[in-house]
């Protein structure tokens, strides 16, 4: 009964979404000369960043990214706070089954490669598809792999939080340096170099690397917290 009602409701809702998005007029009247063209043009001419998406994420809409990093930071803190227990002891890991030797050996083998890949992805964020978030996530998967392969694998929470904090602080400080040098927050104050070089794009790669660190440590921290949670 309830399901039927819900299905009917959703059908109606879907109908309204459909007449909005599937209407041929939806494409016809679109303004195709919005900010997009400016972004594409300025990315090359002023920021010298090959990857426009990165330029947008880090520079044009860098403020969003700062907020986004804050959201991640908040999520990690919130996890700690929500799962916080009065008796402060490190819980037993929930996953108690030992991994098979194939997995553990493979993990050992793969771990450096994954880290390396992650680092590559966020260092080349301004040149190739990829960037801090993607790279950070990859690194976190490396740690996830280690955590599920080795029961005793542990990471110092302090180190994680120091890296995390430092990355965040530096992000804001770079933003503020732009503020001091150029007059606006997050404004580029470094030479932009030439397009398609590793050292190009001004502060973009630096920020993206910081984001990479932050995402990696935060995701690892998240995984670590949840893994050590006894349900």
Partner 1 sequence: MNIENIEIIRIGVYATSILLILIGLYAVLTKKSLIKIIIGLSIIDGGIHLLLIGIGYIKNGTAPIFSPGFENASAQMVDPVPQALVLTAIVIGFGVTAVALALIIRLYRHHNTLKIDEIKNLKW
Partner 2 sequence: MEIIYLIFILFLSGAIATFLLGKVSKRLRDIAFITTLVVPSVLFFTQINIGQTVDFSVLGIHLSWGITNFSYIFAYIVLGLGVLAGIYAVAAMKGKENLGFFFFNYILSIMAMMGILFSRDLISFFVFWEIMTWSSYLMVVFTGKDVQKVGIKYFIFSAIGAYAMLMAIVITYSLTGSMMISNLIFAFPDFEFGMQILIPVLLLIGFGVKSAMMPLHVWAVGSYSHSPMAYTAVFSGALSKMGIYGMIIVMAGLVSRIPEGYWFREVIAWMGAITAVGGTLWAVAQDDAKKMLAYSSVAQLGYIIIGIAIGTPLAMLASLFMAILHGMFKGTLFMAVGAIEKQTGTTNFTEVTGLIRKMPFTFLASLMSIIALAGIPPLGGFIGKWMLYESVIGSNHYLLIIVIFFSSTAAFLYCYKFLFGFFLGQEEKEWAHVKEAPAMMVVPMVILAIGTFIFGVFPGLILNPIDAGLQELGYAVTQGRYWEMSVLFNEWGDTVVLQPILYTILAVFVFFLAFVLTKNFKKTRYVSTKDISSSGEIPKEHENLTFSRGFFQPFLRSVEPLMRRKIDPYYNSFGRGMEAIFDFVRRIYTGNGQTYALYVVVFALLLLIFKDRLWG
Partner 3 sequence: MVGSPVLLIAIPLLAAFLIPLLGIFWKELVRIIPGLVLGYLTILSASLYIDVLNTGTIVETIAGWRAPWGINLVFSPLTGFLATLMTFIGFIIWLYSYRFKRNVEFEAAKKYFIFLMLLVAGSIGIVITGDIFNQFVFIEIVGISAYALTAFYTGRNSAEAAFKYLIMGSLSASALLIAIILIYSQLGTLNMAEIAANIHNMPPQYRVTAMIFFIIGIGVEAEIFPLNGWAPDAYTEAPGPVGSAFAGIVVKAGIYAMVRMMFTLFDISGPMQILIIIGMITLVVAETSALRQVQLKRMLAYSSIGQMGLVLVAFGMGTKAGVFAALFLMLNHAIIKPLLFFSGSYLVFNSKEKNISEMSGLGKLMPFTAAFFALGSFAIVGLPPFAGFWSKLSVLTAAANDGLLLIIAIVLLVSIVEIVYYFRVINRIYFFKFDKATSVVPHKPRVNALIAMAILAILILVIGFYPDSVSEILNRASEDLLNTPDYIKNVLSTGQSLTY
Residue with tokens 């998005």: 21
Of the residues 8, 10, 173, 176, which one makes contact with partner 1 according to CB under 8 A: 10
Tell me if 227 contacts partner 1 by CB under 8 A: no
Token digits of residue 158:
């302090």
Here the tokens at position 180 are 């001091």
Q: Is the dihedral of CA 163, 167, 173, 177 positive or negative?
A: positive
Question: If contact means CB under 5 to 8 A according to the sort of partner, which of partner 1, partner 3, partner 2, none does residue 22 touch?
Answer: partner 1
The sign of the torsion formed by the CA atoms of 126, 30, 67, 45 equals positive
Stretch that binds partner 1, among 21-29, 111-119, 166-174, 182-190 (CB under 8 A): 21-29
Query: Which residue is associated with the tokens 């490396």?
Result: 142
| Residue bearing tokens 């007029």 | 25
For residue 6, state whether it binds partner 2 (rule: CB under 8 A).
yes
> Phi and psi at residue 96, in whole multiples of 5°?
-105, -20
In this structure, are residues 149 and 104 in contact, taking their beta carbons and an 8 Å threshold? yes
Which of the residues 157 through 186 are near partner 2 (CB under 8 A)? none
CA distances from 196 to 26, 43, 92 (A): 36, 11, 48
* Cα–Cα distance measured from residue 178 to residue 48, given in angstroms and rounded to the nearest whole number: 17
Q: Which of 13, 26, 63, 199 binds partner 2 (CB under 8 A)?
A: 13
7 is a contact residue toward partner 2 (CB under 8 A): no
Q: Which of residues 154-193 bind partner 1 (CB under 8 A)?
A: none
- CB nearer partner 1, residue 63 or residue 100: 63
Query: Residues interacting with partner 3, by CB under 8 A?
Result: 16-17, 19-20, 23, 25-26, 29-36, 38-39, 42, 59-64, 66-68, 70-71, 73-75, 77-78, 80-82, 84-86, 88, 158, 161-162, 164-166, 168-169, 171-173, 175-176, 178-179, 182-188
For 29, 45, 127, 131, the CA distances from 191, given in Å and listed in that order, are 40, 13, 16, 20
Give every CB contact of residue 13 below 8 A, 6+ residues apart in sequence. none
CA distance 72 to 94: 24
| Minimum CB distance to partner 1 smaller for 33 or for 101 | 33
Residues of this chain that interact with partner 1 (CB under 8 A) are 2-3, 6-7, 9-10, 13-14, 17-18, 21-22, 24, 27, 32, 34-37, 39-41, 43-44, 50-53, 56-57, 60-61, 64-65, 67-68, 71-72, 74-76, 78-79, 82-83, 127-129, 131, 133, 195-196, 215, 222, 225-226, 229, 231
Residues of this chain that interact with partner 2 (CB under 8 A) are 6, 9-10, 12-13, 16
């Amino acid at each position: 009964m309830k399901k039927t009602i819900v299905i009917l409701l959703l059908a109606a809702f879907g109908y309204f979404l459909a007449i909005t998005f599937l209407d041929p007029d939806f494409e016809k009247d679109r303004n195709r000369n919005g900010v997009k063209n400016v972004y594409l043009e300025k990315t090359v001419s002023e920021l010298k960043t090959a990857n426009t998406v990165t330029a947008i994420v880090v520079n044009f809409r860098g403020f969003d990214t700062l907020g986004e990093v804050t959201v991640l930071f908040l999520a990690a803190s919130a996890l700690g706070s929500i799962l916080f227990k009065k008796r402060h002891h490190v819980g037993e890991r929930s996953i108690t089954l030992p991994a098979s030797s194939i997995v553990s050996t493979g993990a050992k083998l793969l771990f450096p490669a994954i880290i390396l890949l992650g680092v590559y992805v966020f260092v080349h964020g301004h040149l190739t598809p990829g960037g801090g978030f993607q790279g950070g996530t990859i690194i976190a998967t490396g740690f996830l792999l280690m955590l599920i392969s080795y029961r005793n694998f542990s990471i110092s929470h302090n180190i994680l939080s120091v890296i995390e904090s430092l990355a965040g602080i530096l992000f804001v400080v770079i933003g503020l340096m732009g503020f001091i040098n150029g007059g606006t927050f997050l404004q580029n104050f470094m030479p932009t170099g030439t397009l398609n070089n590793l050292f190009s794009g001004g502060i973009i790669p630096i920020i993206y690397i910081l984001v990479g660190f932050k995402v990696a440590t935060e995701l690892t921290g998240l995984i670590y917290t949840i893994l050590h949670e006894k349900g």
